[in-house]
Amino acid sequence: MAATETTSTTPALPTEGRAELTAQYARLLDEIPWAADDDGSSIILDLLAATTWEQLNTGGKLPKLETFVGQTLKVLSVEKRASEIEGGMPVYLELLVQAGGKGEPVKVQTSAGSVMVKLTMLHHFGNLPALVLVTKAEKKTRAGFYPLDITIQAAEPRKGAS
């Protein structure tokens, strides 16, 4: 993977305010496929793939991206799922990643705002897989959270680019 310049076909950022910005982001999220629901067998597979007792305590949920703070991940694919969190984004992202860019792929979830926007844009650009470094702010937000972010280290060339 090489760091490449991409030419965006995305419209310029709106100046009309947050509603138009949100609508533009929603259009980009529409490009991301929905994660397929299964009969629960993926939870069993995840539990059977555990290598430590701590990994057995997921409560039937995917690990959060926060688990990988300070690590480089190879993001192989991005899908979306409907969120049940009231007042938040209507979706969260489910990522297929490899820790350190190697090994068995694992699924993780994130609803972190800047992470979701960056991954949505990488998907839109056709630049997946991509290597990203997961980071966490040292300062709390007013709401008391330590926001997650990613630094894109390398990405596949845009599909169809030479």
Q: Residue written as tokens 């100046």?
A: 15
Residue 3 lies in a domain: no
Tell me the C-alpha distance between 17 and 15, whole Å.
6
Classify residue 99 by its DSSP letter.
Answer: E
Residue 59 lies in a domain: yes
Tell me the C-alpha distance between 120 and 13, whole Å.
15
Tell me the C-alpha distance between 50 and 136, whole Å.
25
Looking at the structure of the chain, the number of domains it has is: 1
- The whole domain housing 148 covers 18-155
Residue 133 lies in a domain: yes
pLDDT above 50 for 6: no
Do 78 and 128 contact (CB within 8 A), yes or no?
A: yes
pLDDT above 80 for 101: no
pLDDT for 38 equals 66
Name beta bridge partners: 94.
79, 109
* Percent of the chain with pLDDT strictly greater than 70: 82
Q: Residue written as tokens 């259009």?
A: 27
Residue 62 lies in a domain: yes
Beta strands in 31-158 (DSSP E): 72-82, 91-99, 106-110, 130-136, 148-155
- pLDDT tens, 36-72? 876 666 677 777 877 788 778 866 677 889 989 999 9
pLDDT above 80 for 145: yes
Residue 87 lies in a domain: yes
Residue 72 lies in a domain: yes
pTM of the model: 0.76
